[in-house]
Amino acid sequence: MIDVQNPLLSKLSAFATLTNSERASLGRFDRPRRCFEIGTDLMREGEKNSTAYILLDGWVLSYKLLRSGERQIVDFQVPGDFLGLRSLLLRTADHSIEPVTPIIAVEIGMTDLLRIFRESPRLAAAMLWALSTDGAVVVERLVSLGRRDAIERVAHFFLELGARLKVVGLATGDGYACPLSQYHLADALGLSAVHINRVLRQLREEELMTFRAGKVTFDNFDKLVQIAQFDTAYMDHGGAARE
Amino acid sequence: MIDVQNPLLSKLSAFATLTNSERASLGRFDRPRRCFEIGTDLMREGEKNSTAYILLDGWVLSYKLLRSGERQIVDFQVPGDFLGLRSLLLRTADHSIEPVTPIIAVEIGMTDLLRIFRESPRLAAAMLWALSTDGAVVVERLVSLGRRDAIERVAHFFLELGARLKVVGLATGDGYACPLSQYHLADALGLSAVHINRVLRQLREEELMTFRAGKVTFDNFDKLVQIAQFDTAYMDHGGAARE
């Protein structure tokens, strides 16, 4: 019943050492699994009583559409992340979600949430922590759009994704596989695709990082951290829920 | 022991009808109260093991400072809001908090949180909901900076604040008291104070809204909603936690 492959387990374990019964409590989320292909929205802005998911495999993006037809990508989600948990709690989806790659996800409803909270207040705190990390990511994106120049934005973005992927074992200090296009980066970072292309070339020529053929390679991690003023503190893990 | 004046009670009651024991559980937060004057930070970015608070009276702002000395205001908090809950969970403050007006706040620690979660899973869900609303506000701010023009940003900002204040009885459809300066608006919305001034004049001359002498007045609420493409859905309340 317990699926050690579940990346949510890896993620929440970074916050608190989970007991066997807590792992079992989470393990019961492990069905039904659903697969979504590219082109099928998981959730549409404005939808009532949407379902939330835990992402097991693949990447998705969350976005909001404006009347003008422009879209703002709010964030990308990677394995172990909640999808649409905020929309579930708010009863109306405040954003849309679409797969970047084919994905596998597990449904999670309000009843499941309340059951988990009943079974373990520590799991509730761990889930609050996971939501807090999601919140911190959006705050960093806000600072990027408001105050960081193009090169700082792009560097910060790739470092942060790396830190998030590392928690679930999908990145090392050297880099990670990344299925995003330059158009995705443009819509997330408020830059044009042409501008993104120029910044990526600059990062490569200065031997800081390379993003090519679906792979991010950190050529000079420390200098990149310095340029981006990247602070891993908001990705901090280490047992805040240990009583 | 139960303080019906506690605006957090009003806020969480919008999410779920609280039982007497749930109200008592929350009521036990009601000491010690602390007062902070303007000029005293409640929390500084990077601080370890910071305390979180529930804001009972007054306004605060959350911000991040950049190496350049520029600051990005992430959000303003009003009575009933959590302050630094994310920082408490992340163990390191990911932003700074300073009072906009003299404030009264109640401390809240990890032990309090875990106790509340133990006593009531529904309260845990209500608190997740409150955090979700905070998250939705930051997402909207992100969309504003990324995709909304100056007049849409300012209109959206004042409508959203109004919706949040209404939940705790501090606003009506006509308007509300607002202690913010044009410099606050500028740092939050990524515009210059001069630009903010010009937009406010335009809103006033077109008889949409007036912000003067610490008071926001909606002169034409419906048209303002239309211009801002303001959607109250993410402020939706109404009992998602009713089992």
Query: Considering the domain boundaries, does residue A138 fall inside one?
Result: no
Strands (E), chain B: 33-36, 52-57, 60-65, 71-77, 82-83, 96-99, 103-108, 175-177, 209-212, 215-218
Does residue A141 fall inside a structural domain? no
Cβ atoms of B108 and A119 within 8 Å: the answer is no
Q: Do A134 and B135 touch (CB under 8 A)?
A: yes
Using CA coordinates, name the residue in chain B closest to A14: B90
- Read off the pLDDT band of A178 (50, 70, 90): very high
CA B210 to chain centre: 21
Q: Say whether both A166 and A195 belong to one domain.
A: yes
Query: What's the CA gap between B127 and B29, in Å, rounded?
Result: 14
Residues B29 and B106 in one domain: yes
- Which CATH number do you get for residue A213? 1.10.10.10
**Strand ranges in A79-202 using DSSP code E only, listed in sequence order:** 82-83, 96-99, 103-108, 171-172, 175-177
**Nearest CA to B211 among B157, B132, B131?**
B157
Say if residue A113 is in the same domain as residue A173. no
How many CB pairs below 8 A link A and B? Answer: 170
Chain B residue closest to A71 (CA)? B147
Higher-scoring residue by pLDDT: A143, A121:
A143
- Choose among B10, B46, B9: nearest CA to B28: B9
What whole-number distance in Å separates Cα of residue B7 and Cα of residue B165?
Answer: 10
Q: Is A240 among the domain residues?
A: no
Instruction: Please tell me whether residues B120 and B181 are part of one structural domain.
Output: no
pLDDT tens per residue, range B50-83: 788 989 999 999 999 888 888 899 999 999 898 9
The span from the CA of A176 to the CA of B241, in Å, is 39
What's the average model confidence in pLDDT over B162-184?
94
Residues B119, B23 share a domain: yes
Q: What is the mean pLDDT of residues A206-228?
A: 96
A224 in any annotated domain? yes
| Same-domain check for residues A200 and A102 | no
Q: How many CB atoms lie within 10 A of CB A118?
A: 17
Q: Could you give the CA distance from residue A148 to residue A10 in angstroms, rounded to a whole number?
A: 32
Residue A178 forms part of a structural domain: yes
**What single-letter amino acid sits at A144?**
S
Per-residue pLDDT reduced to its tens digit, A64-85: 988 888 889 999 999 989 898 8
Are residues B125 and B17 located together in one domain of the fold? yes
Same domain (yes/no): A95, A155: no
Interface ipTM:
0.83
Residue A103 has pLDDT above 90, yes or no: yes
CATH number of the domain enclosing B122: 2.60.120.10
Pick from B132, B157, B185: which residue ends a domain? Answer: B132
Residue-number span of the structural domain to which B110 is assigned: 7-132
Inter-chain CB proximity B132 and A190 less than 8 Å: no
Total domains, chain B? 2
Q: Is residue B77 part of a domain?
A: yes
Q: Are residues A27 and A124 in the same domain?
A: yes
Quick one: which H or E segment has residue A55?
Answer: strand A52-57
Q: Look up residue A36 and give its two tokens.
A: 């979504």
Residue A130: list chain B partners with CB under 8 A. none
Domain contains A191? yes
Tokens of A52: 């939330």
Co-location of A15 and A120 in the same domain? yes
pLDDT of residue B134: 84
Residue B242 lies in a domain: no
Closest CB from A124, A135, A234 relative to B135: A135
The reply to whether B12 and B114 lie within a common domain is yes
Regarding whether B166 and B90 lie in a shared domain, the answer is: no
The secondary structure of B85-140 as a DSSP string is HHHHHHSB-SSEEEESS-EEEEEE-HHHHHHHHHH-HHHHHHHHHHHHHHHHHHHH
